[in-house]
């Protein structure tokens, strides 16, 4: 099977898009009550505008059995109508290795995600069961997009000349990348941190959430996150696309409009960086 980064590059080029749409069905926000039906409409409306979809697993878990079914139907539908778009399971999973073996099975065998977000608090030895899936992306949660991200992630350690923890995490992620399947999550709300992570991790995909509802800077995120050669960048928006309208009559059209605008804004930023789709 093709490497995740190659599939991501192909999907990005095919749709001329670095946009990753998060599929986070929230009963309080959805324009229609059924999560699978909601996602189907969003996917149908945006499938030519994205490089990736990113279901956020807790949103399904919070729906119980119905959520389990909705995730299954959503993944089947994406595979049917957009087989080349990559699917990232956003779950921030992480434990010791003997437990991560089961998380990896769930994410990569049961759900069949092309990539998954993971938590590396237990260190690199614990991630081996994920990394062993050489054809899947293992996207390490490096710098979160929330206001309190600095509480632990900015702590300057005694290692590596006083680098903050998130930078050390990025450096180690580059070391773990022996099979070429490691990427990182860095929030768009922290552009300077995106630049630092990119400097440590050339050739590795970055997943950048937080450009929509969370207020991250789109242009800075693209400029600083861009890789040399393949762009290796997923700019993720969830609420800004899927809840652009909460009206059952036009939510899918509104999602398409919002996704097209984001894709175009990203592409304009790419062009300014001499990295446009030619």
Active site amino acids:
92
Residue 200 and residue 220: Cα distance in Å, rounded?
18
Residue 178 interacts with a second copy (CB under 8 A): yes or no: no
Main-chain phi, psi angles of 56, to 5 degrees? -95, 110
Q: Among 1-9, 44-52, 124-132, 197-205, which window interacts with a second copy (CB under 8 A)?
A: 124-132
Does 162 engage in binding with a second copy (CB under 8 A)? yes
Contact flag: residue 56 with a second copy (CB under 8 A): yes
The one segment of 10-18, 37-45, 137-145, 193-201 that binds a second copy by CB under 8 A:
137-145
CB-based burial label for 158 (10 Å; 0-12, 13-18, 19+): exposed
Residue 96 found at the interface with a second copy (CB under 8 A)? yes
Binder among 145, 232, 242, 267 for a second copy (CB under 8 A) = 145
| Binding of residue 158 to a second copy (CB under 8 A) | yes
Q: How far apart are CA 29 and CA 25, in angstroms?
A: 8
Q: How far is the CB of 262 from a second copy (least distance, A)?
A: 19
Beta strands in 193-232 (DSSP E): 206-209
Residue 190 sits in the site that holds a second copy (CB under 8 A): no
What number of other Cβ atoms are within 10 A of residue 79's Cβ?
12
Q: Which is nearer to a second copy, 17 or 145 (CB)?
A: 145
Among 92, 179, 223, 246, binds a second copy (CB under 8 A): 92
In which element (H, E) is residue 143 found?
strand 137-143
Residue 156 binds to a second copy (criterion: CB under 8 A): yes
Closest CA to 115 of 101, 99, 131, 100: 131
Distance CA(21)–CA(31), nearest Å, equals: 17
Our finding on whether 61 is near a second copy (CB under 8 A) is: yes
If you ran DSSP here, which 8-state letter would residue 167 be given?
A: H
**Contacting positions for a second copy (CB under 8 A):** 24, 26, 56, 58-59, 61-65, 68, 92-97, 99-100, 102-103, 105-106, 109-110, 119-126, 141, 144-153, 155-159, 162, 165, 168-169, 172
């Amino acid at each position: 099977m093709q490497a995740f980064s190659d599939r991501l590059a192909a999907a990005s080029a095919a749709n001329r898009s670095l946009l990753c749409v998060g599929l986070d069905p929230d009963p309080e926000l959805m324009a229609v009550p059924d999560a699978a039906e909601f996602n189907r409409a969003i996917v149908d409306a945006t499938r030519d505008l994205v490089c990736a979809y990113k279901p956020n697993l807790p949103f399904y878990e919070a729906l119980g059995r119905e959520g389990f079914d909705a995730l299954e139907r959503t993944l089947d539908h994406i595979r049917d109508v957009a087989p080349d778009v990559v699917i990232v399971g956003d779950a921030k999973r992480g434990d010791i290795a003997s437990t991560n073996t089961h998380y990896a099975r769930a994410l990569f065998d049961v759900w069949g995600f092309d990539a998954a977000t993971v938590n590396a608090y237990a260190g690199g030895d614990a991630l081996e069961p994920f990394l062993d899936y050489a054809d899947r992306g293992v996207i390490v949660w490096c710098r979160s997009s929330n206001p309190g991200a600095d509480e632990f992630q900015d702590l300057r350690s005694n290692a590596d000349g006083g680098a903050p923890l998130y930078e050390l995490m990025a450096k180690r992620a580059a070391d773990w990348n022996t099979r070429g399947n490691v990427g990182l999550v860095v929030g768009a709300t922290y552009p300077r941190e995106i630049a630092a992570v990119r400097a440590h991790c050339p050739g590795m995909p970055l997943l950048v959430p937080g450009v929509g509802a969370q207020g991250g800077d789109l242009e800075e995120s693209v400029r600083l996150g861009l890789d040399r050669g393949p762009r290796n960048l997923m700019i993720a928006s969830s609420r800004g696309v899927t809840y652009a309208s909460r009206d059952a009559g036009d939510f899918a059209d509104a999602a398409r409009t919002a996704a097209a605008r984001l894709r175009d804004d990203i592409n304009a930023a790419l062009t300014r960086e001499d990295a446009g789709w030619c």
